[in-house]
Amino acid sequence: MYVAGVDSGALTTKAVILGDGKVLSHEIVLTGMGGKAHEVVEMALSKADLSTDDLAFVVATGYGRINVPFAAKQVTEITCHGRGAHFLIPTTRMIIDVGGQDSKVIRLNEQGNVVDFAMNDKCAAGSGRFLEVMANALEIDLEEMGKLSLRSKKTVEISSTCTVFAESEVISHIASGIPKEDIIAGIHRAIASRVAGLFFSKVRRKVEQDSVVMTGGVAKNIGMIKSLEEEIGIRIIVPPKPQIVGALGAALIAQEECFM
Amino acid sequence: MELSIKKPFFTPKDLSWHERAKWWKDKGKRVLGYLCSDFPEEIVYAGGILPIRILGSNEAISEAYKYSINPYSCYVTRSILDIALKGELSDFDGLAITTTCDACGLDIYWRMEDQVKGSFPFLYLLPRPSISKTESSHKFFRVELFRFKESLEEFLQEEIPKSSLAHAIKVYNQNRSLLREIYDLRGEGFISGVDAASAVFSSMGNPKDESNLLLSRMIEEAKVREPKSSAAPRIHLSGSVLFNLELFELIEDLGGTVVSDDLCVGSRYFWDPVSTDRDPLEALATRYLDKEPACPCMNTESKVEDRLNFILMMLERYKADAVVFCLHKYCDTHQLDYQILAEELEEREIPFLVHIIEQNIGTAQLRTKLEALFEIINGRG
Amino acid sequence: MAEEKKYKTGKAKKTLSVDVLKYVSKYYIEANRAKKKGSKPICYHTSLDPIEIDYAMGIIPMLPENFAAICGALQIAPDLIEVAEQRGCPSDLCSYFKNHFGYMEGGKDLPSMKDAFDMNLIVLPDPDIVCSLRNICRLHPIWMRQVARFYNVPAFTMDAPQLHPKTSLSKIDDHYIEFGVSQLKDYISFLEKHTGRKFDMERLSETVALSDRLSKIFEEIYELRKVTPCPVGGEDLNSLVFFLVTEAGSQEAVDVAQGILDEVKDKVRRREGALPEGTEEAHRVSFVGIPPWHDMATAFTYMQKYGATSVDEIYVRAFSGFAGRMDPSHPLESLVRKYFFIYPTTTEQALRLINIEDITGYGIDGFICWNLTTCRLISTLIARLKAMYDLFNIPYVTCDADQVDPRQYNVEQVRNRLDAFFENLEE
Ligand code: SF4
Ligand code: SF4
Ligand code: SF4
Ligand code: SF4
């Protein structure tokens, strides 16, 4: 029996195909560039030599989840990230997801059920959008930021918390000849401190080793992970394909639906 | 009996401020606006004046910034200023303002007095102490209520007799117990969350005696209905002012239901009655200082424990599954109370979420948060 | 990875010889010593509480607000505020509060903090009791409640209700005074109960007399600032707030203030102005709001290039009371007058008199409104005053800032506004 999970995000759309509890294939496409949910699912299906008719159940998640007509069920990305992360890393108790629009912190119990979560307010600071704006100001690729920042010897302090102010601050740093890597390290620290705020709002007691997992595209940014680890003071585990955790969770829920 | 109210269960969206004042004024009577759920309306009602709650709205500010208002104040404050400065309250004979938080009451009073000169023939600032657990605070407030009554009498050019006050208290208490009954019926599925909320909203702007007739009819009709038994997540709403029923509707759209609250447009408005076994003004002073659930900005002593107990009591009474805090940006006092309430709920493993609102409730993100909360409650999380 | 702190250090140039920080450290050292020995109880207060009572009973008042201002001046407030934000404080909440909350919630032990505190000998001893009179903002008593919860100590709250708008400050209704006096009596019982100390009305008369003396000296200093050139600027007066806010009722404050008054008198005699030598006094401004302790240079020194100086600050004057002199033979009533009827509990009329009167008395050309985006009270006051200045056609400029947190502050933007303001004045 085959099922699919599709995560329709602001930036990218992701699909995961499961067969008998195993991941058969996945696909990631930029939402703006033809990343329509059904097309992404079909692309993933064809990788696994399957077609839509083979699917027993589809669950949609992400911001665009209500606009996925062929999905039989919509589930929030909070529950899906929880499910996906717990499947990949059973020790998961806290999930950090820095998304394009908002950042989330999700707390799980031992069974992998979500017990609590927090989302940042509408402010762009502390979200993936902040990174995008800054990459743009620095005229570098979003993808490059992580590696570049590792070369930094001296983290520059980005003193403004607001994206708009911080952007002009970054521009003036560039103008005064400060190495890009130092600026990027500063940007990472700025976001990390906001995300840490969200994190601590849901963790009052001690956090166990190996229980903090980061999901979402930003988790591929190694510099970001490093800054976050410094801020929260514990190692963060990143699953191999952090972007597809939400879609994976959706697929897992689709599978449960079939057995219900 | 034919009721004179045009539209019995209006929500703020349905009627303009002019319309709400006009039908009463057409009878040759007066209308007075008030801003806070801690305002002793009974005195006004006893003087034959219709008190109408000015809530603010989620319309964009269009006039107020021209008057240099504080952009770093909550949207409730900014919106009320805008409504008044736009002249939407020009049919009102009076405006009475309780001294509330740092940005709201006093500032609105100042601006009405200074920037909209002559806008209200009767403009009053009612000093309310922000502590209530001492005898001296009650004594003080009694003097202030007496002074308010005197000023109103001067404006009316006639005395408000004790008997009218006692009668007003009776009518208001009846309204309170009817609203409680509606809450109880809602708890059992006879009335929807949205309908119960609109009963409170409309009670804040209709003449109480007529409002009582409508509420009684609503109750009669509900009682013969089949109760809706549903497994929907039962939500307690916590916070201050909501401009309209949007949040109640959203929660119902998503499959949940609001069964209880401690909102200024909910139980904070009506829960506690006024005692009838003593001097009316004294009883009013006591009720408005001691009433539960307390507002954090007007009860700055340690009332948060009382608030917590009230919320816990409501959760039990209406079997609510979770608490949704909906707080205004720049509302410091409610946000500080939230810190403690959140800690206490977490300790008791009661699910909750907090959402900060400004002009609008911010539906897109709130939707996701609510759905995730419902998934947790339904065991899907 | 090495980190570079880049918060702008902006110490203003002072003209007076008094070393305020020395007195501040001394105060904190003595408080810590007393705490360690258990010789005197520590009571936390919010500002403008009747600490004369504490002095009369041998209790040490400590003000986390004052502490926050010092952290601001030492450039360490942002680190503490970050801790507070990580503990769930919304970023638009009062920076003074967040500074202290962050300090309690672990910021105290940050390595960077320890150095700064030890070096300057500024360590806040834990409280034995806390108190707040709500006469300024609604956050004050809640702040103390949070502290009481954290340290598990008793708390006492008082309330100064808003004056009825038709009241005149010289004729305050009896029930206001009675309400105030009865709360002060309750406060005294609270202190007696929790500290075991006995209250003595005569001692209170003495501390009230000292407090009155202090206020009077400050009033004299402000009178002297009406002359041209103004002998001392806002950078100095603001830092002197320490004495008014934590030492009202002590002999030391009176002695220091007397010394300052003599120095100012001397300067007036020599016709020496607050501006650096060779700069002529071209503009006199009034400063409205809480100053940015982290960047006093932008707030006060920067304007010197336009030959401008701040000759009046409503913030400082608020600490000596608006409702007239105190009378040591009626200490409780006097305290009520001093502490219960200041902005914002006073009337619009009084506020207008106090602020607009400045124009004539001090020869002021315009107002610099230092707006705090995290303070509901100041931002509302300033919005209100702006409307008033518009009405009277008085020049003003508003700078959006923060009193201790440079992260909420854009120095270029602020300097630009100041430039535009002074260029306009010159025309
Ligand atoms: S302008 Fe700044 S503070 Fe406002 S939402 Fe954007 S990032 Fe946040
Ligand atoms: S929050 Fe408090 S001040 Fe505001 S309306 Fe409600 S009761 Fe009144
Ligand atoms: S109590 Fe809060 S919501 Fe009500 S007026 Fe004040 S700041 Fe606004
Ligand atoms: S008055 Fe403003 S700055 Fe002072 S404590 Fe209150 S909120 Fe903070």
Give the residue among B273, B381, B365, B299 at the shortest CA–CA distance from B326. B365
Would the pLDDT of C8 be above 70? no
| CATH class, A2-80+244-257 region | alpha beta
Q: In chain A, where are the structural domains located?
A: 2-80+244-257, 92-238
Would the pLDDT of C365 be above 70? yes
Confidence at residue A34, expressed as pLDDT on a 0 to 100 scale: 61
Hey, which of C145, C377, C379, C405 would you mutate to test ligand 4's pocket, going by the most ligand atoms within 8 Å of its Cβ?
A: C377
First to last CA, chain B: 52
Rounded to the nearest angstrom, the distance between the alpha carbon of B293 and the centre of ligand 2 is 11
Residue range C189-237, pLDDT digits in tens: 999 999 999 999 999 999 999 999 999 999 999 999 999 999 999 999 9
Confidence at residue B6, expressed as pLDDT on a 0 to 100 scale: 41
Which segment of A240-254, B191-205, C9-23, C54-68 scores lowest on mean pLDDT?
C9-23
Instruction: Confirm or reject: Cβ of B240 under 6 Å from ligand 3.
Output: yes
Rounded to the nearest angstrom, the distance between the alpha carbon of A124 and the centre of ligand 1 is 6
Which value, to the nearest 10 degrees, does the dihedral of the CA atoms of residues C173, C178, C180, C186 take? -170
Confidence at residue C168, expressed as pLDDT on a 0 to 100 scale: 80
CATH number assigned to the domain comprising residue B65: 3.40.50.11890
Q: Hey, do A2-80+244-257 and A92-238 end up sharing a CATH topology, with the first three levels equal? A: yes
Asked whether residue B267 is domain-assigned, the answer is no
The CATH code for residues A92-238 is 3.30.420.40
- Return d(Cα A251, Cα A245) in angstroms, integer: 10
Residues in contact with ligand 1 by the CB-under-6-Å rule are: A 123-125, 162-164
Residue range B162-205, pLDDT digits in tens: 999 999 999 999 999 999 999 999 999 999 999 999 899 989 98
Residues contacting residue C369 through CB under 8 Å, at least 6 positions apart: C288, C289, C382, C385, C386, C396, C397, C398, C399
Instruction: Confirm or reject: Cβ of B99 under 6 Å from ligand 3.
Output: no
Average pLDDT, chain C: 90
Q: Which residue of A has its CA nearest to B327?
A: A121
Give the residue among A114, A73, A109, A15 at the shortest CA–CA distance from A260. A73
Mean pLDDT on C37-57: 97
Atom of ligand 3 minimally distant from the CA of B296: 1
Chain centroid to CA B307: 16
Q: Which residues pair with A2 in a beta bridge?
A: A19, A55
Confidence at residue A260, expressed as pLDDT on a 0 to 100 scale: 66
> C326 is written with which tokens?
């105190």
**C-proximal residues of A, 51-110, CB under 8 Å:** none
Q: Which residue of C has its CA nearest to A155?
A: C3
- Return d(Cα B29, Cα B7) in angstroms, integer: 19
Tell me how close the Cα of C85 comes to any Cα of chain A, in angstroms.
6
Asked whether residue B176 is domain-assigned, the answer is no
| Contact between chains at B136 and C376 (C-beta distance less than 8 A) | no
Asked whether residue B117 is domain-assigned, the answer is yes
Query: Which residue minimizes the CA distance to atom 3 of ligand 1?
Result: A162
Highest-pLDDT range among A144-153, C45-54, C110-119, C410-419: C45-54
Confidence at residue B381, expressed as pLDDT on a 0 to 100 scale: 63
The total number of structural domains that make up chain B: 1
Confidence at residue B333, expressed as pLDDT on a 0 to 100 scale: 93
Q: How confident is the model at residue C377 (pLDDT cuts 50, 70, 90)?
A: very high
Hey, which of B73, B125, B262, B268 would you mutate to test ligand 2's pocket, going by the most ligand atoms within 8 Å of its Cβ?
A: B268
Confidence at residue B8, expressed as pLDDT on a 0 to 100 scale: 46
Q: Which residue of B has its CA nearest to A249?
A: B381
Tell me how close the Cα of A109 comes to any Cα of chain B, in angstroms.
10
Range of the domain at B74: 13-160
Chain centroid to CA B267: 8
Give average pLDDT by consecutive 10-residue segment, chain A, 260 residues: 92 92 92 79 93 94 89 94 96 91 89 89 77 87 88 86 81 89 92 87 78 92 93 92 95 89
In angstroms, how far apart are the furthest CA atoms of chain A? 62
Q: Which residues pair with C288 in a beta bridge?
A: C369
Helices (H), C270-375: 296, 314-318, 331-340, 348-362
Please return the burial class of C352, using the count of CB atoms within 10 Å of its CB with bins 0-12, 13-18 and 19+.
middle
Backbone angles phi, psi at C293, to 5 degrees: -60, -25
> Choosing among A103, A122, A150, A161, which should be mutated to test the C contact, i.e. which has the most C CBs within 10 A?
A161
Q: Which residue of B has its CA nearest to C175?
A: B140
Would the pLDDT of C7 be above 50? no
Give the residue among C158, C138, C401 at the shortest CA–CA distance from B106. C138
Would the pLDDT of C391 be above 90? no
Beta pairing class for A12-19 and A2-8: antiparallel
| Contact between chains at B375 and A114 (C-beta distance less than 8 A) | yes
Confidence at residue A204, expressed as pLDDT on a 0 to 100 scale: 67
Helices (H), C196-310: 201-224, 234-246, 251-269, 296
Residue numbers in chain B where pLDDT is lower than 50: 1-8
Residue range C133-147, pLDDT digits in tens: 999 999 999 999 999
Q: In chain C, where are the structural domains located?
A: 20-426
Instruction: Confirm or reject: Cβ of C68 under 6 Å from ligand 4.
Output: no
Rounded to the nearest angstrom, the distance between the alpha carbon of A186 and the centre of ligand 1 is 18
- Return d(Cα B111, Cα B97) in angstroms, integer: 12
Tell me how close the Cα of B355 comes to any Cα of chain A, in angstroms.
8
**B-proximal residues of C, 344-373, CB under 8 Å:** 344, 348, 373
Whether residue B356 lies within 8 A of chain A, CB to CB, comes out as yes
Q: What percent of chain C has pLDDT over 90?
A: 69
Asked whether residue B88 is domain-assigned, the answer is yes
- Return d(Cα B193, Cα B250) in angstroms, integer: 11
Residue from the list C86, C406, C407 with its beta carbon closest to the beta carbon of A196: C86
Confidence at residue C323, expressed as pLDDT on a 0 to 100 scale: 66
Ligand sitting nearest the alpha carbon of B53:
2
